[in-house]
Amino acid sequence: MKLFLCNSSRPPPAAYLPAPTTVTSLVLNNISSVKTKLIGATLSIGLLLGSPPSFAVDFDSSINQLKPYGNPPIEDCLLDEPEEIEEVGPQAVTNESLVEEAWEIVNDSFLDAVRRRWTPEMWQQKKEDIMGSNIQTRSKAHEIIRRMLASLGDPYTRFLSPDEFSKMARYDMSGIGINLREIPNGDGAIKLKVLGLLLDGPAYAAGVRQGDEILAVNGDDVRGKSAFEVSSLLQGPNGTSVTIQVKHGNCGPIQALEVQRQLVARTPVFYRLEQVENGSISVGYMRLKEFNALAIKDLVTAMKRLQDMGATYFVLDLRDNLGGLVQAGIEISKLFLNQGATVIYTAGRESQFQNTVKADMAPLVTAPVVVLVNNKTASASEIVASALHDNCRAVLVGERTYGKGLIQSVFELHDGSGIVVTVGKYVTPNHMDINGNGIEPDFHNLPAWNDISKRLSNCSRLQG
């Protein structure tokens, strides 16, 4: 399975951000002892880039017949070659084919944003050197993949053992073990196809296969919707079922599959309302620990409840938040931005990573925002911090952020192991390259609340 992720690693103890007054310390001090949990320890395996340890990564039942929403166009079947989906079980793959699979993923997707020395010719020679001999054991195959990836000189591109890869389920946005990709048609329309599948996940057990097109969720036609929208529709309470209509291949049968949800993520959001300035100002405090599959939904709930409770300012605490899902960072940024505002610019070898991402709806809240950051605020957290800062929606308070502007994808190999590969990079709305630089905060200590409003107003006036 392929999942889009942001950076993570083993952090030192959380830094304490002092508050200038005893009143605001209620908002800031209570979380000083929080320690960020590793992303299942999978994203920092074996990577020590100095002392202290550095960040390692950012990073996509019964079967019943259902009447189709009309027959597929004849042109689709004539013009598109039928997709041949090879189903290889974990026990069937050879050691040599496993190594070659990892080599091909890098060959197709890797972006050399660190050393800038990768070439197709060099990588082809690497394949010829490796595949010239017989690989006797699976552990030997895994070790070859580790060395092969290490030769790229990218600290974020690395191997995951089957046990380590299994822990990545907390980043499954769908809750049923699939990754959706938007595939353009010749006529400009978009198909939603399964281009990532957990082999032991609930969708696979129900009959979903690589390359299937998703047509409906619980009877609602989803054609024309984005992958993120449909992933959100697929989510639900753990153990409940969702019915999806899929078309196998380009011209294959259409089936309705009942899939039991299996969401393993825990809420990363903590929130409360604080009264400051002798009760004259209500501050909605929100702590976001990581960008997992529940981050967007739970943060929306927190924002709505705090707004209903009368919050006139918001504090978004991203200290010690090492990242997670890139898409979650992007969608959370949109919750605060005006429609049409730039969230981030992305670049990569594949066209899907060459984008200008903009907010596509009105903001959920318009009150002034303070974003708390430190030197362990990284990746998806830096996407949010820079998007809100550069669009005059938030002031940044704390320490310079870590500085990881790279995007990784996590790919499952056919024996249940996986590889994390750098596939893209991003720059801020103000065209700043975060990677290796970080983001400098506006203040090291929390300013007066009225000063926050004035600074954001001046920023908006200068941009206008």
Bridge partners, residue 373, by sequence: 398
pLDDT band at 26 (very low <50, low <70, confident <90, very high): very low
Q: Report which of 293, 306, 214 is spatially closest to residue 255, judged by C-alpha positions.
A: 214
Better-scored residue on pLDDT, 143 or 234: 143
362-421 pLDDT, tens digit per residue, is 999 999 999 999 999 999 999 999 999 999 999 999 999 999 998 888 888 988 899 999
- Is the pLDDT at 57 greater than 60? The verdict is no
- Is the pLDDT at 170 greater than 50? The verdict is yes
411-461 pLDDT, tens digit per residue, is 889 888 999 999 988 899 999 989 989 999 999 999 999 999 999 999 999
For the question of residue 404 being annotated catalytic, the response is yes
pLDDT of residue 29: 35
In angstroms, the CA 198 to CA 171 distance is 12
Task: Please provide the average confidence, as pLDDT, over all residues in the chain.
Answer: 78
Give the phi and the psi of residue 352 in degrees, each rounded to 5.
-65, -20
Bridge partners, residue 217, by sequence: 220, 244
pLDDT of residue 311: 97
Catalytic residue among 8, 379, 381, 417: 379
Catalytic residue among 2, 289, 376, 404: 404
For residue 111, give both structure tokens: 């972006």
Helix (H, G, I), strand (E, B) or coil at 221: strand
In angstroms, the CA 392 to CA 132 distance is 57
* Stretch 208-226: mean pLDDT: 89
- Is the pLDDT at 337 greater than 70? The verdict is yes
- Is the pLDDT at 255 greater than 70? The verdict is yes
Residue 336 CA to chain centroid, in angstroms?
Answer: 18
Length of the chain: 464
